[in-house]
Structure 1
Amino acid sequence: MKAFILQFLLLLCISFIGVTPAMAANLSGDLLKQPATKITVNLGNTANELKFEPNHLELEAGKRYQIHLANPSQLKHYFTAKDFADGIWTQKVEVGKVEIKGAIHELELKPGGEADWVFVPLKSGDYSLRCSITGHTEAGMTGEILVSN
């Protein structure tokens, strides 16, 4: 029953953002059984440079991803990509022994912080990524997320 409800909600969500019928069928099938492609993104580095490593991500709509976010710097940073977040289905964000579900638009990672974001891009596009802390974007802590069909 839980799987049916999840599939129904997923189909309802994707109907509002213009996903093709073929993509919708793929997403509603065995989405949660699909292995997630793992990508690590560092927010800053041990030298406290204001940058994302890597700062360019290429994803495919309809595929399941797990982005491991890590902050090895001594400063807090944000992973902000609102337009991207509006075009994905988030399965969960996992931090320690806590899972957060629902719409996510921004994650704050304190020094040494780590989080795993599991999601499926539903909408293709070129999305901007930035750290929204005052001065960080201006110093070059930006990136892009490209989602193709």
Structure 2
Amino acid sequence: MQRLFFLLAAVIFAQPALAAGDLSRQDPIEVTVELGSEDGEMIFQPEQLTFETGKLYKMVLVNNSPNKHYFSSDKFTQSVFTRKVQTYTPDGEETAEIKGHIREVEVFAGHTAEWWFVPVQTGTFEDLKCTVDGHEEAGMVGTIIIE
């Protein structure tokens, strides 16, 4: 009888296990990254990016330079859940929305892309680079940290 009482009490007072938060309802944290510079300098600005697991980010990749550039980091792309990438013309017209696993993002001269993602694995990734021929060698490299 005592065993039945404890079993019944456990069922009555048990609370469902709930997640700490609804990740689908977060407001994104916006981070802007400039790809290159107007005078043609090969840089990521900032060259070091820091993100936190479990938070939704909207990384705005802005290319005001006269060259196309890539935002490429294999280790970073394997450590985030991508919700979507959107691309825009210089006048702000949306040109594409991409979903699924993203390996790298190419941003044309004068264009912008938004990468919406949630980091899911921590690490320091020193493989951020622009994969256009000669850009990495010219200094277009960076580091991404996920805490």
- What TM-score comes out, normalization by structure 1 length? 0.79
* Structure 2 residue corresponding to 1:92, chosen from 73, 84, 88: 84
Shift of 1:99: 1.7
Q: One-letter code of the match for 2:135? A: H
1:86-126, Cα deviation, whole Å (9 max, x unpaired)? 11100010121532110001111110010100000000001
Gaps of 5+ in 2: 1-18, 88-93
Letter in 1 for 2:136: T
The amino acid across from 1:69 in the alignment is L
Aligned to 1:111: 109
The residue number in structure 1 matching 2:132 is: 133
Is residue 73 from structure 1 mapped to residue 65 from structure 2 by the alignment?
yes
The structure that is helix-richer by fraction is 1
Report the CA distance between 1:133 and its aligned residue.
Answer: 1.1
Larger CA Rg, structure 1 vs 2 = 2
Unaligned stretches of 5+ residues in structure 1: 1-24
What's the CA shift string for 1:115-148, capped at 9, x where partnerless? 1000000000011210011111111100010001
Following TM superposition, where does structure 1 have runs of at least 4 consecutive aligned residues deviating by more than 2 angstroms? none
Aligned length: 122
Q: Could you tell me which residue of structure 1 aligns to residue 25 of structure 2?
A: 33
TM normalised by structure 2 equals: 0.80
Q: Pairwise CA RMSD of aligned residues? A: 1.1
